[in-house]
Structure 1
Amino acid sequence: MVSSALHRSHAPLSLALGVAARQHGLLTWAQARSCGLTRGDVRRLVRRQEWRRRLPRVYAVRALTDGGDEAERPRQAVMAAQLALGPAAFAGTHTAARLWGLQGLRPWDGQEVHMVVPAPAAQRQITGIRLHTWDTAPEEVARTGSGLRLTTPGRTLRDLLLDVDRATAVCLLDSALHQRLVRAEDLAALEAANRGRRGCRRSRPWWSLADGRAQSPLETRVRLVCVDGGLPPSDLQHPFHDERGNLLARVDFWWADRRLVGEADGLGPHSLPEALARDRVRQNALQAHVPGVRIVRFTWEDLKRPGYILATVAGAGGGVR
């Protein structure tokens, strides 16, 4: 608990804690002063390690920020950056994608957040913040219930596709579609809006590769290997039913002409013993009810050998057709 030793400033401290509680445990020097805390009060709180300096003139209340879950860490970092940069700043690119829950980027290293400020704005460099200065329309900035500002999913994709590689780009697009953060019919307009920006020609073909049926970056990357190798699956998340119409299985990839099922086995739920047992039951039921069906499985490790993935699909299906 935050110490109540500052008897003289107990009421101002309570006000300051209320402000911080609404801002992911953070507040500015100016906010602390407006609550009635003096310069000496703030210094004592920092000296007692009840508060810590997060960014220039931005403080974290340790009772509110320490020990939070992993998902809260980037939110705290963005709020700190907002408070340091002012009301015109908002999260963008990689940071906005993580806040929206888009899948496909590497896990955040906790070191840096990407923030956008209007192009004319002059800002000093601050450690832990990567600044981007470009024009963004007001309708392209969203606000969360806790006050975080970030680019909309569509604008986030526009900016990111100019900066990432092809496979990562398609993973992000698939994830946005799968989570219904954007609509498939909006992608052409988003691509067109990027024309004239650096990197737009390189990324232009990637928009048409998006498929919201993909449920994970591993599925997306395996699909791209197969598409590039001339062995695109005929369906994704293909359902199989028994003779009474009951769903037997929904598989990641289906090559109808090869009677071949493909599954992407990533780390996570499928690694648990109970999930593995369910997968075996499902696989046995599928093979019992669908004559001649074959099943192949791919992991993240297999992506290091795209030739192996293609050879497995081609071999299981009797060769490239």
Structure 2
Amino acid sequence: MRPPFGVQTLAQLTATGIDRSTVQRRGRYTRLLPAIYATEQVTTLARCFAVTLWQPRAVLSHRTAAWLWRLTDEPDVVEATVPRAVSVGAQAPSWLRLYRRNLDRDARSSAWGMPVVTDARALLDCVAVLEGEEADRLVDAALDRTISRRAVEQRCARDAGTHGAPAARRQLREAATLADSEPERLLGRALARRGYRLPANTVRVVGYWPDLVDVRSRTLIEVDGLGPHSEPPTFRRDRRRQNALIAERWYVLRYAGADVMADVEGIADEIVSVLRRRRANRRG
């Protein structure tokens, strides 16, 4: 029977009658880790499985787990978590990064027949090691589309006081989920950073699904791309929609996607100024 991912231990190979010196000689077998060999082409999955053979208590985590849950692209480095008490001994190769941490039982799962952290745990692990826009994009793409926000919030609450917890809480506050375009996503995040988390494409108003909505001030924000909105049928439909919204006393702000990309912070400041004024007027 073919070994999983073409990876076997030295003991498994010699048990089949292969001489130990033959295994250790360069050529047919590729040494991945101490006493762990690949008998076929070395893939990322093969390396992942090799780690679990080398360290039986290891759990694949961080970007590797995110990849196994189809949240990110295939990583260059395999990442795994081992209990603090585990002694690794031999130095890990350049393609492997080990983290020492005692995982909760409910933070563990399995994928491809290998131990792996849950998708929510993987997302928070990635936030702790990624920076800036890379982390933002990952969270925005995964949250609510692939991973339950509630699951991430519960996981985040359990992590209170640990490394990476502040960054995770910030991501939950600022996440711009369900955006239909990159300008819309960036604008949603910029507004959330200012304390205005507006739902995107989920609130139906006068028969339409606006890009961003502030119900308290009865204000809609639309981010228009150059292509679709310049077509005659779409242009006319947008005009009819805007007239219907104004007739129902909704205030409409429209921005070109290119302008948002060029100055998202300035546009966010402008929108916040309008929202504050309209909220104050409605209270009055």
User: Scaled by the length of structure 1, what TM-score is found?
Assistant: 0.63
Q: Residues of 2 paired with 1:120 and 1:133: CA distance?
A: 8
Q: What residue ranges of structure 2 are gaps of 5+ in the alignment?
A: 244-251, 279-284
Q: Residues of 2 paired with 1:160 and 1:251: CA distance?
A: 31
Instruction: Give the fraction of aligned pairs with identical amino acids, expressed as a percent.
Output: 20
Q: Residues of 2 paired with 1:215 and 1:54: CA distance?
A: 43
**Could you tell me which residue of structure 2 aligns to residue 192 of structure 1?**
157
Q: Residues of 1 paired with 2:229 and 2:13: CA distance?
A: 55
Aligned in 2, Cα 1:198/1:234: closer, same or farther, shift over 3 Å?
closer
* 2:200 aligned counterpart, secondary structure: strand
1:311 CA displacement: 7.2
2:104 counterpart of 1:137: yes
1:122 CA displacement: 0.9
Out of 10, 13, 26, the residue aligned to residue 32 of structure 1 is 13
Q: Residues of 2 paired with 1:102 and 1:203: CA distance?
A: 16
2:155 counterpart of 1:204: no
Aligned residues: 266
* 1:226 aligned counterpart, secondary structure: helix
Letter in 2 for 1:80: A
**Could you tell me which residue of structure 2 aligns to residue 307 of structure 1?**
265
Query: Is the 1:254–1:262 contact (alpha carbons within 8 Å) kept by the matching residues of 2?
Result: no
Q: Residues of 2 paired with 1:237 and 1:284: CA distance?
A: 19
Out of 223, 242, 256, the residue aligned to residue 262 of structure 1 is 223
2:25 counterpart of 1:78: no
Query: Is the 2:80–2:97 contact (alpha carbons within 8 Å) kept by the matching residues of 1?
Result: yes
Aligned in 2, Cα 1:161/1:234: closer, same or farther, shift over 3 Å?
closer
Cα deviation per residue 1:93-117 (whole Å; 9 max; x = unaligned)? Answer: 22212222225xxx5562x221111
Query: Is the 2:30–2:37 contact (alpha carbons within 8 Å) kept by the matching residues of 1?
Result: yes
* 1:204 aligned counterpart, secondary structure: helix
2:58 counterpart of 1:100: no
2:118 counterpart of 1:159: no
Query: Is the 2:71–2:142 contact (alpha carbons within 8 Å) kept by the matching residues of 1?
Result: yes
Pairwise CA RMSD of aligned residues? 4.2
1:180 CA displacement: 4.0
**Could you tell me which residue of structure 2 aligns to residue 237 of structure 1?**
201
Q: Residues of 2 paired with 1:26 and 1:218: CA distance?
A: 45
**Could you tell me which residue of structure 1 aligns to residue 141 of structure 2?**
175
**Could you tell me which residue of structure 1 aligns to residue 39 of structure 2?**
61
Letter in 1 for 2:268: L
Q: Residues of 2 paired with 1:220 and 1:209: CA distance?
A: 11
* 1:178 aligned counterpart, secondary structure: coil
Q: What residue ranges of structure 1 are gaps of 5+ in the alignment?
A: 1-14, 67-72, 266-275
**Could you tell me which residue of structure 2 aligns to residue 90 of structure 1?**
59
Q: Residues of 2 paired with 1:204 and 1:225: CA distance?
A: 16
2:192 counterpart of 1:227: yes
Cα deviation per residue 1:217-274 (whole Å; 9 max; x = unaligned)? Answer: 77544311233357x47431257799xx7xxx86644578555412689xxxxxxxxx
